[in-house]
Structure formats: structure tokens, C-alpha cells
Amino acid sequence: MASRLNASYVSIFQRFCDVLAIYFSLYIVFKTNHLPIDNQTLLAFLSIVSIFQLIGGVTDFYRSWRGIGLRNELISCVKNISLTIFIFYTINIFFTHIELLVFIECFVLLIFFLGGFRVSIRLISSLFFKTFDRAKDVIVIGDCERAKKLYHDLGLSKWTGYNPVGIFSFKADYNDSEFSGNVSTVVEKIKLSGIRKIYIVINKNNINQVEALLEVLADTTCSTVIIPDLFNYNLLYSRIEDINGSPVIPLIDTRIYGINNFVKRVEDICFASVVLVIISPILMVIAIAIKLNSKGPVFFKQIRYGLNGKPILVYKFRTMSVMENGPEVKQAVKNDPRVTSVGRILRKTSLDELPQFFNVILGNMSVVGPRPHAVAHNEEYRKLITGYMLRHKVKPGITGLAQVKGWRGETDTLDKMEKRIECDLEYIRTWNLLLDAKIIFLTILHGFINKAAY
């Protein structure tokens, strides 16, 4: 609870410093460009602050960066600034007339101030620990790769006040040169070296040894941290939560809930609405072409699994002369005779997927997410691929990480489907607003024409 409270104070301090950084950036930009500082300036300031803070909350920008490299923190900082300026510039087009150069200057200054603040914090922290000798000597106990990685990561983050001095094995006959000793020598090491903290990586093979070790450590003043080695499992957004004082670890969950769910829904509605307005003439032309090309309806309504595996109706332009939607569905293959001439163009350019923006407006699909598969394919592959159904922890999408990574089109081998599912689960595990923006951008850039689409 105390560490969570400390993290909260740090987050508040970071947010306050970010507000100051935005203020100074805008002040300098407006002064150097001789722009009036009036109510419009105040509105711009409040808008950028609100957008940046909202994006920061959604992308976990204000989480604890302890133990995370400066490079990754600065990259995250630049991404958040870029998205903030892009959104504000888009709003500016409709409501104000501030020149693009002003936004570029603001972008550069924000990177300077926000990035400089974070570099300064790390330098001050490092100087503090060196000057006042407050660095904690820590050791790691565990035999798995997770323990070795933890020891390595602690060594890269000495600015946080942790100084790793050894890694110990639970095995009496260990033969790895990386280890400093086995668990029987830990207490002696604590007494001789003044160890302040111990990280114990626990798994199903050493539970009894951990229990015995904790009894021994109770006779010391050393802080002890338990790390469950659960990373061999197919986890989705695992984290530690608190239920009335009881620590719980969700192993299979998603980031898209609460405020994140609201933000993603707003993203979907805004993007889909704009797209539908823009492409409405194209939809009309495609509908006429389908009608003139072959007999049958313009739209094909497919039964697919949606959020939490519940059946939904997904809309597509009809591209085949037959309409399979039963217990057995054959995927389209190269030169498939069922595909019409117009349908071949639509499938090759992905234009047959455009009606799914109506699904997004209805709320049973998202712009970005795992692509919905035929029910027959779901039932087939859920028996062959462990964790297959976890892709339905979020709404299906019009485009997804698997598609921009090249895993679209026919999945004629199990390996291809496994690669697609890996991408889907990676998306669910790492989702944030910036990832959605990246996938949308890559889809627009080179996602319309694909040789794998038949």
C-alpha cells in the first residue's frame, strides 16, 4: 500500500511538471511568434494539457518507470507528444487558424522540456544515491531465466537506488557460473554484506524451499519481494490488484476496460463516422457494380464471434457467387471460381470490408482489433491452438496487428494461423491508443493492396 501511495505521489508530481512544461512551451512559442496571449491562448493551453494528460493515462505514461531504461521512457514521451500535437492540430483546422510552424515549434519545445525533465530526474536520483550512499544492495534468488533477467535489469537501473550484488540458486549442486552461491549461503551473505532487499522468483518447483527460506529471513531485517514465474503461461495483461487488502493477480485480462474502454469507443465512433462520410460515394459505386456484375444481394451478413465469444452479424460487400455461412466454410484461395470479377477487385483492395464501419458504429466491432474468423474456423482452430479463444477478450476489428504484419489472407497451414493468433494476443496484451494509431496508419499506407488476399 505504501509503495502504491509513493507511486501516486510521483505520478502527481510528474503530471504537475508536465503542465509547467506545456505552459512554458506555449509561452515561448506565442512570444517568439508575436501571437496575442488572450482567452484563445488559455484555451489552447487547457486543450493541450487535457489531451496530453488523457493520452498519458491511457498509454500508462505515468506509471512507475523504476527499472525501465531512459531510452524507452523518452520514446514513450515523444510518442505521447506527437499524438497530442496531431490531435490538437486537427482540432485547430476546424476552429482556429494557427500556422503549422507554430505547432512544429511547440512540438520541439515540448520534447526539450518534457524529455529534459525526465533526464534531470534520473540524474538527480543517481547523484542522490551516490552522494548520500542510499543505494540498496539487493540479491536475487531463483533458477529460471526470469531470475537471471531480473538480476540483469536491476544492474541496468542503478539510478533507482538498487545495487544487485549476487544471484543465488535453490539447487545445492548448481553448475552455472552466473550464480554467486546457493540458498544455504544467503543468510550468511545478508549478515556479512548488509543486504537490504531480496527478490525471490517462485515457481511450482521451489514452493517448499521458498516457505522454508521465508522462515529463515524472518530472523533478519531484510525486505523480501516475491515474484511469481508465470511468464511461461499465455498471459494477457497480468498485474497485481488489491481487493479489500487481499492481493490478487489477474492472469488473463485486457487493458480495455473502464476509462480505456470509453476512450477506445470514442476513437471508434469518431473515426468510423468521418470515414463513412468520406467514403459514402465509393460505397454507392461499389453497390451498383455488385448488382450489375452478378445476381444476389449487395451485402453479405456473416455470423462471427464477437466480444467474449458471443455471435454477431458482420457486414461485407458480397464478393462470391455463393454465400457460405454454415458449419463448414471453405476459405477463398487463389483463382477461386466462387469469387466474382468485381469481388476479386474488392478482396484484393480490401474494399469488401468497408461496410464493417457500420458494425463499428453499432458497437459490436472496433476499428482495430483481431479480425473476426468464420464460426467454423473458430471451432476448428480452438481445438488446435492453445489460447485461440483469448482473441475474443476484445471486440473484433476491421484491421489488426496481424494484418499489418503480413498475416492476412488464406491460412492454409496451422503455422500461419498460429502466427496470426500470436499477433492478436500481442495486440491485446500491449494495447494502447498509440498502437491503434500506428496500425491504422500502416493499414492506410500499405494495407489496401495485398497479394495474400484472394
Give the per-residue pLDDT at 226.
Answer: 83
What are the tens digits of pLDDT across the range 224-251?
888 877 655 566 776 776 676 666 777 7
CA distances from residue 390 to 48, 350, 397, 414 in whole angstroms, order as listed: 36, 25, 15, 17
| C-alpha–C-alpha distance, residues 242 and 368, integer Å | 31
Write down the pLDDT at residue 369.
95
Q: What is d(CA 25, CA 109) in angstroms, rounded to the nearest whole number?
A: 6
CA atoms within 13 A on the CB side of 371: 25
What pLDDT score does 135 carry?
Answer: 57
In terms of C-beta density within 10 A (0-12 exposed, 13-18 middle, 19 or more buried), how is residue 207 classed? exposed
Q: Are strands 366-368 and 162-169 parallel, antiparallel or unpaired?
A: unpaired
pLDDT of residue 158: 59
Contact present, 267 and 433 (Cβ < 8 Å):
yes
Q: Rounded to a whole number, what is the largest CA-CA distance in the chain? A: 87
pLDDT tens-digit series, residues 22-36 = 888 888 888 888 877
Q: What's the pLDDT score for residue 410?
A: 66
Residue with cell 538527480: 124
Domains in the chain: boundaries: 2-131, 135-232, 259-446
Residue 45 CA: distances (Å) to CA of 80, 275, 370: 16, 29, 37
Distance CA 116, CA 122 (A): 10
**Three-class DSSP category at 103:** helix
What residues of the chain score a pLDDT lower than 70?
1-10, 63-69, 94-97, 126, 128-135, 156-161, 172, 174-178, 230-235, 238, 241-242, 244-247, 322-336, 409-411, 447-454
Asked whether 141 and 69 are in contact (CB, 8 A), the reply is no
CATH 3.40.50.720 is the classification of domain 135-232: yes
Q: Give the pLDDT confidence score for residue 230 in this predicted structure.
A: 66
| d(C-alpha 194, C-alpha 152), whole Å | 21
pTM, two decimal places: 0.65
Please tell me the distance from the alpha carbon of residue 23 to that of residue 19, in angstroms, as a whole number. 6
pLDDT at 333: 53
